[in-house]
Every structure is written in C-alpha cells, then in structure tokens.
Structure 1
C-alpha cells in the first residue's frame, strides 16, 4: 500500500510538470531564504558562546550622569577588578582590557611597519579566564612582564612568516620594544575579540595600577563562582560607589556628600551584563567588538519565518487551485471504495515529495547564494554539513513543512462529494471569504509590511546622507597614522599644502568621523563644585582645523599659531553654551579648567564659539565639545580642490615615501568613513530589499494560483456573460477587482503595523525622519500595481477565451 502511495504520487506530479515546478520552486526559494536567515540568526545568538564557562562570564558596565552628559559605558576604573576580587567572595577570576586601536609594528630586523588594526593591553589572567590556549609559549607566564605581548597566528605569519616566534622582538610605533612570549590561534569570527591580533601585557600600562576611580578606560570582566546568585551580586555591586568612588571624589570636592551628589541630578551606577549578551543587548556607546542589535535579529526572524510561511501558503493556494482537475479522480476513488484517510495520506505523500525536492533545491540555492549573502550581511557564515544536528533539523523541518503545507489541500480535496465531482461541479464555495482569500490577504499583508520597512530604512539613510552635518566631508582625504612621520610631520604637511590640488590641510587625531575620542570634566572659574561640572569632549587640533573642515564660527575667532596665548585657548560649541547657561557673546573670555583641587590650576580662556556639528552618529545628540590647540599627529585631513583623486593621491603618497620611508601609507575619504558608520543600517536595508522581493515573488505565485483557480472555476460563467454581450474589458475588470479587494484589505491591515514597528526601529536615532503618508501611499501603490500585473494575465486569458469551448460540456 505504501509503495502504491509513492507510485501514484510520482505519476501525479509527473503528469502536471508546470504545476509541480512552480510549487517546488516557490517552496525552494522560501526555504533557501529562511535557511540563510536562520544561519545568520544562529551565529548572532551564539556570539561569544565558544569560551569556556561563558555562562559565568560577566562584564561590569557603568551608567553615569555628570556635567550635563549621560553616558552608558562598558569601561570602568583601573581599580575595579582588584576591588571586586578583594571584597566579593563570588568572584572566581577577573581580567581587564585597555584597548589601543590601531598601531604600527615591525620586527627589529626590518624597516617597514605593518599596521595592526586592533590591539589591546590585557591582564595575564586572560587565557585562564576565557579558556584559551597558546600554539607556542606558556600561557601562565606569557603576559606577566611589562613589554611582552602575545599575537595571533595571522599576525605572527604577517610579521615573521612563522608561528615559531617566541623570544623575538617587535617595535611598537617605532619607539617601544616588545618581546613576543606567545602565539595563539585566530579568535572565532563570532567573538568580540575577533579583530584583535596583538595582546600586550597590562603590567606595562602604568595607569592600570593607579587608584583613580575617575579614569574609566578599562573593560573589566569577571567570572562568578558556580551557583552564585546573580541578584545578590548585583545588589552588593551597588555599594562600590558609596564605599570607593564617592570617598575618592571627596578628595577633589571636600564638601560633597552622597546626598548633594544625588541632589545635583548626577549618578554613577554599576551593573553587570552577561558576556553572551553584549553583542546584541548592550546599549553602550563604546564596545570592544562589532555591535549588533536584538531588534535586527527580531526583524530578520520575522522575515525568515514569514518567508517560509508564505511559501507554504503559496503551496496551499496552488494545490487547491488545481484541485478541480483532480475532482473526478477523487470521485472515482471514493466510488471504488477509498476512504477519506487513504486519500489524505495519498495527497500528503505528494506534498511530501514536493517538499523533499524543494529542500534539496533550497540547499543548492543557499550554497550558491551564500557568498553573496555573506557579503551583504558582513558575515562569514557557512552551512554546517559536518554537524549531525543540521541533518536532524533539516529532516524534521522537511516533515513538518510537508504536513503543514500539504494538510489543507489534502483535507479539502478528500472532502469532495463523489456525486458532485462526477457531475463536474467540483467543490462549491458559497462563501466569498473562503480560506484561500484569507491566505492571499495574509501573503500581501506581509509583503506590504516589508515594503514599508524597506522604504523607511532607505528614507532614513537618505536623510542621514543629505543632512547638514555642520562640517564639510566632501573631497576631504584623511591620511591615517601620520605620527609615523615623526619629526617630519610638519614638513609633510607643508609639502602637501604646496600641491596645486590641495586647498587646506590639518593635523589632528580627532575627526568628526570615527577616530580618537577623549572627554574630561571642566569647571568654570568661580564655580568649582561638582554640581557645576561640564562633561566635555576635548579635541586637540591645529590652527587649520576649522578652515579645512569648514566649521562655522558664531562668535569670537579662530586659533592663531603665532599667538603664544592660544596655547591655553579653547573654542567651544553651542551645546557647551547650553550647559553653561550663557550666550555665545557672554562665553568669550570666560576661563575653564579641569584641574580641580590644585592650588594653582591651569585655566583655558574661551576665544570662540562654533556652530554645533555632528561629530557622533545621528543616533546620538550633540554633546559639549572643546577644541584645544595642541599637537596630536594621529591623522591628517586634506581638503582637495580637484576631482582627479588618483593623481593627487599618487602625489601625496610620493611625498609620504620621501618624508616617512618604510611607513605604510593608509588613507580614506571622510565621506566614505561617514557612510561606514551606518553599515549595519545599510546591510539591513539591503537584506530588506532582497527578502522583500522574494516575499513578493512568492506572494505573487500564490495570487497567480488563486487567479487561475478563480478563472477555471468561473469558466462557464464567463462564457455565459460573453454570449450575453459582456466585453473583454468588463470581464477583465470584474475578475481583477475581486483580487484587488483582498489586496486592499491586506494593505489596510499591514500599513499601521508597519508604521508602528518601524517607528520603534527609528527610536535608535536622535535625528530621524517622520513616517509620512508618502511612504504609506507608495507602499500601497507598489503592492497594488504588483497585484494587478500578476492577476491581469489570468484575467485577460479567461476573458478572451472562446465561450463555445467553455459551454460545450453543458
């Protein structure tokens, strides 16, 4: 009997190849898309899970409000780790990171530097804390001594061509010599440490040993003892502020109390976040690794789930649309003694065939599409063919999808009444609101939602791209790591300025696009209490900074390199005025300092006020900023006055080789760096487009199937109407209108849902668009147009058919 089920199923599917192909292709596309999304989500949810005892690893985070600024940070003070080990019995181990960003390294026997993009100081407990092993070296002693480092396999091969490098030396930024004491494997791709290649001993970082609770530059991780009650630990953690931080702060502000600190609206709060939650759930403005968002996981989960659901719905619609062709077969089977259960098993077997074939095709499609998807999503995902669990999951999903997608057609077809089917009446539906109509409403509702999401994401990105940022990012070339030129930096700048294609140039480590960041608490002369603090970004720039980036002065003047007094001058932005509570003219001449508690603090006098500009992403509000004329040589911004970028870059590179021989020449355009700040949003937008198109394609297949079903079911009605004088256009409009009603209902349901969900997504941006009627109207127009195009073929085909053929069987 079972063999017969398979034989009949195969014959039936082979008999109608076009229907089988559409069904298989629709399911395969939905499965392939959902498989890719599932692999992406699996990697996101398993970030940092590979570390030993990952479930017991936590980071100490800090929320602070001080000087008018509210900061969420993953960094705490240097003594935090030692304090926790001393006071908390629950702590089994701790480790600190002090990230350094990019640095130049070269072996002692070479002259050319190699740039390592992510480097950090780390405590010697690093390896035991995360369960990491060394390829070469002793992990117990590798990072015990100052000026020692451990490097990854890739870094070792880049610098020495081998991993057998223990005992060899590296020169950091042409100055400090470090001894290699270990080599480790490259970190996993779904780890917060994946980009780090050089780990230097914290023992060489003098500031790490200071008992200063205001220097929050250290990522502090703790491993809790087994069976520790996290709630109790969190409660005890709150006491660190009162026991250590406030007493330290009183040395600077003698009259400060816990009550006065709170009364001023300021606060410091420590809390924990699980290591495995950092990637998706952290709200901090600074992170060691690439940051994702749980919102994007939810969005992609929604897309993946509904993509496969749409494919199943499409299967149901197409199957029931072709059920009339098999109505007589069902009638004969029932007449000859087949019961309903046997018919259900027969049709479920057919659906199982289609789903199994679709799954194989889906895996093939996913394999082909995977490189493009990885490029789109910025990931390195692979299909886990070596994992037995993968095959178990695939088998279970295939069975479940076969049952789910085939159940409705099977139960519907098996319910046909033999007398009606043998007369050619098939299955009559008196209700206009049958299940197929509701499925179409569901399909196009999802399509409308995805269209709204796509339009909102790209409108927000367009808004970001076109917004006046307050500085000129166009045609600005940024040369990285200019400190490598050493004492020749000024000569390099002057040589660049002498080029005819160069308008201005400035040397600074601080740029409006991602670069160095530094903030300090300043106080206005005469208002030195903590309640009057100004938490301000402090940028060190030269006298050409404002002109090069076209920053607008609203009061006062620019720096003058010939004025010795300007070494203690500062230019503030408008947001600083708001914190001070004064006007731009009143600010000129006032003095501020960060040296609290000293008998003779150094004061800076305000010489100018610049218009606010977006030095952070548009997710953040513009905070207080002070520009100080000082020498920092991290990078050089060059304003060009030519479109021949290749030529001018070649000229600048030749100057660099002359002034900084053996040093790497790295550059970027400021507008590209700005765009890179929103790569996650761009990736989300691109993913939205791809899967929206797939969803619409699958929904259109379902609508096409229902249109075919409707036209087939009303063939005689159409024939009678034509005989009685109805025109082709009247019949076409009549058939199309039925479906447009369904699309209209789905649009009315999906538009408010899409508006609500995308407004939640936009809440991450301090500067954002408003979702207006234009986006809603365009979404409705697009889905309506797509529906008309899909339905019109079947409608016109039915309308122009010869009525004689349809009425001949009466």
Structure 2
C-alpha cells in the first residue's frame, strides 16, 4: 500500500512539472538556508564545551563605579586568585591569565623574528584547570619555573619539530630568553583561547606576586567543587571587598569606609560567568578573544525559522491552489470507497516525496555555498557527513517538515464532497481562499520585516563610517613592534628618518591609539581634592610631542605639548569628558594639577595645559570616557600620517628604512582605518547575512506568489477571453488579475512595519551612538516589496492577457 502511495505520488508530480518545480525548488532553498544558519548557531552555542569540567569553570568579573566612570571588567586584581581558593571552600582551584598580546619570537642563534599575535602569562594550574594534555613535556612542572613557556603545535613547528621542542631556548621581543617546556595541540576555533599560541609561566611576571588590589589586569578563572553551586560563591566572593580591597584602598585614601563609599554612589561588585556562556553573553573589556552575541543568534534563529516556514507556506499555498485540478480525482476515490485516512495518507506521501527530494537538493546547495557562507560569517564550519546524530536530526526535521507542509493540504483535499466535485462544483467545494490569502500575507510580512532589518543594519554601519570621530582615521599608518629597537634613542632615529620622507606629513611614537591598542586606566585626583568622591577614573596614555597633530585631534582650550617647555614632561592634555568630571569649563581646567600617585608621600602632579575635543577611542557602542595624555617613552608603535598620493611607494620607503636599522626583523603595519573597520566586523557580517537571507526570503515568497498568480490566471482563462472580446486591453486585464494580490501585500506591509520598527529599535540599543529610524526606511521597504510583487504577478497577468481569446474560450 505504501509503495502504491509513492507510485501514485510520483505520477501526480510528473503531471504538473511547473508546480512541482516551484514546490521542490522553494523548499530546497529554504532548507539549504536554514541548514547553513543552524550549523552556524550550533557552532556559536558550543563554544568552550571541549574543556574538561566546563560546567564547573567560571570567570570572575567586576562591575565598578568610581571616579565618575562605570566599568564592566573581565579582569580582576592579581591576589584575588590565591585569596578565593584560601577563603572560599567551594572553590577547588583558580588560574590567571595576564594577556601579553603580540610577541616577537626567534630561536636563539637565529636573526629573524616570527610574530605570534596572541600570547599570555598563565599560572601553573592552567593545564589542570582546562584539562589540556601536552604532546611533549610534563604537565606538572611545565609552567612552574620562571622563564618557561609552552607553545601550540603550529607555533612550535615554526621553529623546530615538536619532538625536539623540549629544552629549546627562544628569545622573546629581542629581550628575554625562555625555555620551551611543553607543546599542546592547537586550541579549537570555538574556544576562547583560539587565538593564543604562546603560554608563558606566571612565575616569569613579577607583578603577579605583588599584593596590589587596585589594578585589575588578570583574567581569573575558578573551578568549583562538583557538589557546589554557582550561587554559593556570590556572597563569600563579595566579602573580598570588605576584607581585602577596602583595607588596601584605605591605606591610599584615608577616611574611606564601606559606608561612605556606597553612600557616594560608588560600588564594587563581583560576579561569575560560566566559561561556556562567555562567548555569547559577555561584552566586557577586555575579552581573551572576540565574542559573539546572543542577540545575533536570536536574529539568525528567527531568520532560519522564517525561511523554512516561508518554504512550507509556499507548499501549502500551491498545493491547495492546485486542489481544484484534483477535485474529480478525490471525488472518484471517495465514490470507490477510499476513506478519509487513506486520502490523507496519499497526499502526505506526496508531500513527503517532495520534501525528501528537496532535502537532497538542499544538501547539495548548502555544500556548494559553504565556502561562501564561511567567508561571510568568519567561521570554518563543515557539514558533518560522518556524524550519525546530524543525519538523525536532519531526517527527523525533514519528516516533521513534510508533515507540517502536507498536513493542511491533505486535510483540505480530503474534505471534498464527491457529489459536488463530480458535478463540476469543485471550486465551491474547495474553498481555502482565505487561508491562502493569510499565508501570502504571512510570507510578505516576513520579507518586509527582513528588508527593514537589512536597511537599518546598513544605515547604522554607514553612520559609523561617516560619523565625525574626533580624529582622522584615513591616511594614518601604524608601524608595529617598534620596541624591537634597542632603546628610545634608536626609536627616535627611526622616527626622524621616516619624518624626512617627502610623502610623510607627521609621525608619532606611542602604544595608545583610538583603534584597538593598549589601554591604561587609573584613578586620578585633583590637587587638594584627594577624597574618594572626588576621584577621576581616567585613561592614562603615554604619547610624544607630535601625537596630537599626527592623529589630528582638535584642541579646544590651551595648547599642545611643546619641546621648548621643559615642564611639559609633567603636563597633561585631557579630553572634554575629563573636564566634565572635574566640574569646570575647558578654560578653567587649564593650570589644574592632577595625580594618580595614591598614598605617596610626595606624589607626582601633572599640570593640565590643554583640552582636546572628545574623540571616540572606544567603539561607538561605548560612551566616551575621561582621558589624559602625558609625555612618555613607552612606545611600541610609530604612527605615520601620509600625504595623499602613492601609499604603496611610501610604505616601501618606510620598509627600506626599517630593514636598514633592524635587518631580519618583521615589518608589520596597518592603517588605522582598517583597524576601525575591523572593530565593527560583527555588524558588517550581520549586515551581509541579513541581505543574503533577505534575498532568499524574497525569492521564496516570489516563487509562491508566482505560482499562485499562474494558477489564478489559468483558472480565469475563460473570463480573460470574454473580457478581451468585450474590449478590455492588456493593462486592464493585468490590473484585474494583480489587484487582489497587491491588496494582500499591502496588508503584509501594515502588519510587518511596526514589528520591524520594534525589533530594530532593540538592536540599535546596543550602540551608544546610533541612527534614528526615519520614515524613509519604511517607505523604501514598502516600495521594494510592492515593486517585487508587481513584477512577479504582472508577468503572469500579461502572459494571460496576450493569449488569443479564441483559444481562451475553447479552454475547458
């Protein structure tokens, strides 16, 4: 019987190839798009699952309000790790990371450095905490001694074979020699350590032993006991503030107590987050690796659901529309004794056959599009062909989809009344027009929603690109790793030689730039106002005398640094946000003195000599905080402002100077504009994904509309012929055939626009600086939806209208 169902289903599908193609192609496109998105979401949801006991590993965060600034930090102070293990019995162990970012490495006895983009100091408990095995080396002692490190396999193979790695010596940043004590496998691409390749022993980092509760520079992870719960940790963790941090701060700021600290509106709160939640639920500074966003996962989940529902709705619409052609077949079957269950089974067999054929085509499409999708999403996803769970889930979803898509048409057609359909009253018996109209409204409502989403995302990206950032991001080249030059004198010499190039406007040595780079926040106090409620939490950037003109900052009060003034070595230039915290005007701020030497008998004061206009040194998701710039020789990069012209020639000239001074060393550079754009890579990817799947949704909706329009024109063939005989022209007939569909599209637009406005308003809330959604966005979305629907429907209308009326009137 089942074989007979599928045989009849195959014959039925062959009889109407056009509508069969529309059904299969529409379903395949929707399934392929949903499959790609689901693989992406699966990858996002399974970050850091690979670590042993991941359910018990948590990172400690801090939320601090002090000195007029609110900060959500992913790092804590150095002594916290040892303290929580000692004071909180539910914590089994702790380990710390002290990010060192990029590192130049060369094997001793060689001349050429190799750059590793991410390195970090780690405690000796690191391997045990995360359950990582060494390919070579002893995990118990690998990170115990100072000046030892472990490498990932890829990093190690750049210098020597893995089997010969143990005991090899490496020179780091042309300064310190380390011994290789272990090699681990490359960390998975969906782990928070995916970009790290060098792990140096924390015993090598002197600051990690200092009992300083005031600096938060350490990512600290804890593993709780199997019997403990996360909420058990919160209260004893908060006690750290009273028992350790406040006594430390009281030695620096006499008179501060827990009561007046909280009464002034300040706070210092600890929290913990499971390691598996960090990727999607943490947006703190700084993160060990760039994180995703649960919001984007929700958005993509809805898009995947929309695509599959759109494709399913197409099937329902076209199947019910085609039911009139099969009304007599149903009537005869019922007359000959077929039960309702048998008819439903027959039609479900047809939908199942279409769905499984669509699945095969969908997998082929997804496999073909996977490289493009990976490039779009920044992932390295593969279809897990050998995973039985994947195939089981895929087949189960296909069966569910087949039932969902075919259930309504099956029940709809099984309700035909034999007497009616055999008399030719199939149209009266069929009904279902309201349902089909509702499904068309649903399809286009989704499409319009996605069109609005795409337009808003791209408008926000355009706003980011065109906003006045307060500095010049174009034509500024940054040369990295200037620290390989032996001393400040040699760095100045390199700077001067670059400055002499005709195509170079100005140069500046620093490690601090508006795009992602070093950051250093400190608590400052104005002279004579050392109370805790007068603190100014401020970025402390070390720059040189040419920084302001090179980055093109605007001075709104006072002056720039000047070599002619020896006292400028103890001067500072602050931004407008710092002035606001001081509670004065920019002019009044000039001459004020500030210090960050808390508790010192003779603190060093910096005199404010200038105020710069606020500039966005963080992303546009953040407010602009207080910032002060001081003259200093801590510089790892050279910023070069280039005149308009041949950039390639200028870069080549700078590289020649570099190779003359430090032959064999890497010449690494980037443009500030490139770094700025990279900051919003997630939004750019979301925009591209939006537009891709919006086009897919429109395509699927149009396939359904196209099929319904074709069916409608075919059903009204005689009517069209009569109208032509009575004098109607092509445009009148096209209008008559199209107007009903356009009404449905209009209803879809009215339904979807408020929903789209609400959803995208929520998305924009993630940005402190954002666009205001204007009526033009919704007008453009409406125009696009109406235009696409008119083109789709009119094609069938014109095709039907130009047929010879004689042929139309002969049609049965």
Q: TM-score range by the shorter chain?
A: over 0.9
Q: Distance in 1 between matches of 2:610 and 2:811?
A: 92
Q: CA–CA distance in 1 between the matches of 2:407 and 2:556?
A: 71
| Distance apart, 1:429 and its partner CA | 7.3
Distance of 1:562 and 1:176 partners within structure 2: 37
- Tell me the equivalent position of 1:617: 619
CA distance in 2, matches of 1:163, 1:666: 31
* Count of equivalent residues: 810
Matched, 1:803 2:795: no
Alpha-carbon distance in structure 2 between the residues aligned to 1:499 and 1:760:
49
CA contact (8 A) 1:436 1:706 kept: no
Matches within 5 A, 1:468-483: 468-483=468-483
Equivalent position to 2:499, from 493, 497, 500: 497
What residue is the counterpart of 1:582 in the other structure? Answer: 584
Q: What aligned pairs does 1:35-184 form with structure 2 within 5 A after superposition?
A: 35-184=35-184
Give distance in 1, aligned partners of 2:433 and 2:361. Answer: 34
Q: Give SS of 1:301's match.
A: helix
Alignment RMSD (CA, Å): 1.4
| Structure 1 position 334, deviation (Å) | 2.4
Equivalent residue number for residue 290 of structure 2: 290
Find the aligned partners of 2:338 and 2:529 in 1 and give their Cα distance. Answer: 94
Query: 1:151, 1:197 within 8 Å by CA — same for their partners in 2?
Result: yes
Describe the SS at the equivalent of 2:8.
Answer: helix
In structure 1, distance between residues paired with 2:25 and 2:733: 31
For structure 1, which segment, 183-192 or 312-321, has the greater mean C-alpha deviation from structure 2 after superposition? 312-321
The residue aligned with 1:427 is 427
How many angstroms apart in 1 are the aligned matches of 2:181 and 2:705?
Answer: 66
Moved more, 633-642 or 740-749: 633-642
Question: Which of residues 762, 769, 781 is equivalent to 2:771?
Answer: 769
Q: Is there any run of 5+ residues in structure 1 with no aligned partner, and where?
A: none
The equivalent of 2:268 in structure 1 is 268
**Cα displacement (A) at 1:433:** 5.8
Contact 1:23/1:315, CA 8 A, preserved across alignment: yes
Q: Deviations over 1:305-337 (max 9, x none)?
A: 110111111111222222222222222322332
Q: Which residue does the alignment assign to 1:745?
A: 747
The equivalent of 2:233 in structure 1 is 233
Counterpart Cα distance in 1 of 2:433 and 2:246: 69
2:717 and 2:811 in contact (8 A); partners too? no
State the match for 1:212 in structure 2: 212
The aligned counterpart of 2:371 is 371
Contact 1:106-1:112 at 8 Å conserved across structures: yes
Decide whether the 8 Å contact of 1:321 with 1:708 is kept in 2: no
How far does the alpha carbon of each residue in 1:369-413 deviate from its partner, in whole angstroms, 9 at most, with x for none? 111111100011111112110111111011111111111222222
Q: Shift of residue 432 of structure 1?
A: 8.8
Of 137-146 and 478-487, more deviation after overlay is shown by 478-487
CA contact (8 A) 1:156 1:163 kept: no
After superposition, the Cα gap between the structure-2 partners of 1:165 and 1:730, relative to the gap in structure 1 and judged at 3 Å, is same
Residue 728 of structure 2 corresponds to: 726
Match of 1:472, SS state, is coil
**Partner in structure 2 of residue 243 of structure 1:** 243
| 1:390 partnered with 2:390 | yes
Are 1:711 and 2:713 matched, yes or no?
yes
| Separation of aligned partners in 1, 2:206 and 2:301 | 47
Query: Please, what TM-score do these two structures have when normalized by structure 2?
Result: 0.98
Give 1:161 shift. Answer: 4.3
- Within 2, Cα distance between the matches of 1:460 and 1:446? 21
The CA deviation at 1:494 is: 1.1
Cα gap change, 1:430/1:745 in structure 2, threshold over 3 Å: closer, same or farther? farther
Instruction: Tell me by how many angstroms 1:717 deviates.
Output: 3.0
Q: Which moved more, 1:335-344 or 1:442-451?
A: 335-344
Conserved? CA contact 1:157–1:163, under 8 Å: no
Pairing of 1:651-690 with structure 2 (within 5 A)? 651-690=653-692
Deviation at 1:430, TM superposition (A): 9.4
| 1:499 counterpart SS class | coil
1:420–1:427: 8 Å Cα contact kept in structure 2?
A: no
**Contact 2:202–2:208 (8 Å) recurs in 1:** yes
Deviation at 1:262, TM superposition (A): 0.9
| Cα distance change, pair 429–326 in 1 and its aligned pair in 2 (3 A) | closer
Q: Deviations over 1:48-98 (max 9, x none)?
A: 011111111111100000111100011001111111111111011111100
1:463-490 per-residue CA deviation (whole Å, 9 max, x = no partner) reads 0000001111111111111112233211
Give 3-state SS (helix, strand or coil) of 2:191's partner: coil
- 2:459 aligns with 459
Distance in structure 1 (CA, Å) of the matches to 2:314 and 2:811: 31
CA distance in 2, matches of 1:730, 1:251: 89
Q: Is the 8 A contact 2:279 2:291 kept in 1?
A: yes
